[in-house]
């Protein structure tokens, strides 16, 4: 599926939200003009300058391949406004970049499993087919090891000191100071894959407890505080002597899912399994004492406190239902899960993941591996590197100015949350995202050791880490070797 946005496709009209076009844009098959209206986003003098040169490329095509399953919304749009604020913000961002630099966007959408294969096949055949790729975080990681993508250091105008790029991205995707994948405001849907906690306000009110917002602001929102709040919440309410998810009455302190909460709590508390040396070379670096302390608190929050910790994939919706039915104080998920809470009767709020303790410098948010990442195919010609880097930086900076405010203000804050105090919580969440090479590359093994221990209700962290260390060290070393070979080929 392809979509082209013409450089001549004009801006949204403030009064009528109509479009004026100097040529007919190409639409994917089966699309129709919905004729709906949209709000416009005006430029402000307070914009953060991106310091890009003012050049016009005379209609040059900028070719993007992106994944389906939702992430295509990072750049793919219909050629008309809709009732979806995020879609319309992406559309306006695309138009602004096209007009500013005189380009046309050509977007190809395919399944997330196919995109890395298509990129690799094109590169191996020497075909210069794409300028930018949006790939699945885990599925696309191999591209960096196979000489299929370029280091961003070769793109002169991509500036990772700017606020529209994730600050921790190099930790997960850089080797020898060569960053092969990136993320930030350029991929707005990835924010929806960022971990958070929802809480039930009615339950807090019934216990005469203040909402935890001020704890967050004061740097006191910790795992110990979460354990304290949920210690006596899980209860048998139907009188059968058991606290179980199947009940329509039993109450839980936390409702959670095994493919999210182990990672969310671990990384939120400062856990990390791969470190870097002075040359930015990664190595497997489990810290048993630290990880044991983190894990014990996670264990107490979920197992000791009788949380609903769902360990079967088939029952993920039960995790959500327990919260929407008003039977859980907290629901661990990601920001995108707010969509499931639209019809919830009880009022709810949003919080970042708790810190390990008050000495932790900042809140940290885990990014699920289903998130998209951007990369640049190795077949981009040297004479086009300046062009490609300018357009990437422009797409990112314009997203920061246009898309992110719409996403956070309209989609996440006003439309899906029930109170204004959750607004600044979103900023704590999306501006402190972390990435770990172990999670991306050692998914089944060291990267999921917390998940595996919790499912077994085991507390033997030292033994578990010891059992995966040799294999994990070898895997990271092999990644570095493959990367070095790729970089020098």
224, two tokens = 């110990």
Q: pLDDT band at residue 412, thresholds of 50, 70 and 90? A: low
Checking if the pLDDT of 481 tops 50, the result is: yes
- State residue 387's pLDDT score: 98
Mean pLDDT is lowest, of 86-100, 248-262, 347-361, 439-453, for 439-453
- State residue 408's pLDDT score: 77
- State residue 394's pLDDT score: 98
- State residue 254's pLDDT score: 98
Q: pLDDT band at residue 26, thresholds of 50, 70 and 90? A: very low
Q: Is 88 exposed, middle or buried (0-12, 13-18, 19+ CB in 10 A)?
A: buried
Return mean pLDDT, the chain.
87
- State residue 485's pLDDT score: 80
Checking if the pLDDT of 15 tops 70, the result is: no
Percent share of the chain, pLDDT over 90: 72
pTM given for the model: 0.88
Q: pLDDT band at residue 49, thresholds of 50, 70 and 90? A: very high
Q: pLDDT band at residue 141, thresholds of 50, 70 and 90? A: confident
Average pLDDT over residues 388-398: 98
- State residue 45's pLDDT score: 59
Average pLDDT over residues 134-154: 90
- State residue 418's pLDDT score: 62
Mean pLDDT is lowest, of 36-40, 81-85, 174-178, 360-364, for 36-40
Q: pLDDT band at residue 415, thresholds of 50, 70 and 90? A: low
Checking if the pLDDT of 17 tops 90, the result is: no
- 182-223, pLDDT tens digit by residue? 999 999 999 999 999 999 999 999 999 999 999 999 999 999
Question: What is d(CA 83, CA 94) in angstroms, rounded to the nearest whole number?
Answer: 18
For the chain, domains (ranges, CATH) are 2-191+370-414 (3.40.190.10), 195-366+425-488 (3.40.190.10)
């Amino acid at each position: 599926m392809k979509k082209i946005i013409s450089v001549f496709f004009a801006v949204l009209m403030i009064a009528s939200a109509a479009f004026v076009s100097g040529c007919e844009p190409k639409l994917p098959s089966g699309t129709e003009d919905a004729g709906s209206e949209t709000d416009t986003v005006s430029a402000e003098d307070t914009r953060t300058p991106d310091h890009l040169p003012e050049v016009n490329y005379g209609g040059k095509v900028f070719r993007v391949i992106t994944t389906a399953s939702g992430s295509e919304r990072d750049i793919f749009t219909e050629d008309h406004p809709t009732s979806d604020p995020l879609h319309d913000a992406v559309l306006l961002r695309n138009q602004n970049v096209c007009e500013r630099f005189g380009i046309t966007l050509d977007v190809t959408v395919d399944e997330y499993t196919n995109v890395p294969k298509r990129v690799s096949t094109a590169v191996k055949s020497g075909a210069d087919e794409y300028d930018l790729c949006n790939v699945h975080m885990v599925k696309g990681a191999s591209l960096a090891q196979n000489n299929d993508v370029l280091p961003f250091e070769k793109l002169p105008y991509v500036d990772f000191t700017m606020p529209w790029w994730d600050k921790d991205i190099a930790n997960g995707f850089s080797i020898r100071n060569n960053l092969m994948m990136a993320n930030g405001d350029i991929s707005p849907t990835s924010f929806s894959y960022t971990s958070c906690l929802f809480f039930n306000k009615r339950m807090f009110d019934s216990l005469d407890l203040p909402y935890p917002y001020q704890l967050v602001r004061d740097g006191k929102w910790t795992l110990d505080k979460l354990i304290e709040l949920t210690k006596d919440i899980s209860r048998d309410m139907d009188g059968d002597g058991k606290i179980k998810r199947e009940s329509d009455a039993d109450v839980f302190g936390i409702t959670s899912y095994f493919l999210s909460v182990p990672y969310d709590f671990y990384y939120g508390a400062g856990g990390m399994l791969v470190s870097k040396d002075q040359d930015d070379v990664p190595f497997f670096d489990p810290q048993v004492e630290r990880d044991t302390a983190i894990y014990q608190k996670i264990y107490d929050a979920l197992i000791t406190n009788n949380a609903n910790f769902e360990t079967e994939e088939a029952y993920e919706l039960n995790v959500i239902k327990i919260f929407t039915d008003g039977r859980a104080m907290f629901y661990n998920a990601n920001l995108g899960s707010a969509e499931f809470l639209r019809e919830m009767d009880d009022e709810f709020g949003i919080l970042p993941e708790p810190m390990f303790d008050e000495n932790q410098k900042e809140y940290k948010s885990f990014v699920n591996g289903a998130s998209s990442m951007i990369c640049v195919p190795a077949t981009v010609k040297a004479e086009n590197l300046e062009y490609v880097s300018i357009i990437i930086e422009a797409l990112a900076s314009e997203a920061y100015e246009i898309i992110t405010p719409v996403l956070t203000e309209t989609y996440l804050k006003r439309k899906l949350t029930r109170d204004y105090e959750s607004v600044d919580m979103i900023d704590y969440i999306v501006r402190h995202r972390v990435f770990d090479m172990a999670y991306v590359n050692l998914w089944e093994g060291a990267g999921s050791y917390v998940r595996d221990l919790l499912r077994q209700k085991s507390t033997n962290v030292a033994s578990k880490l010891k059992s995966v260390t040799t294999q994990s060290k070898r895997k990271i070393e092999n990644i570095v070797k493959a990367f070095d070979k790729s970089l020098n080929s």
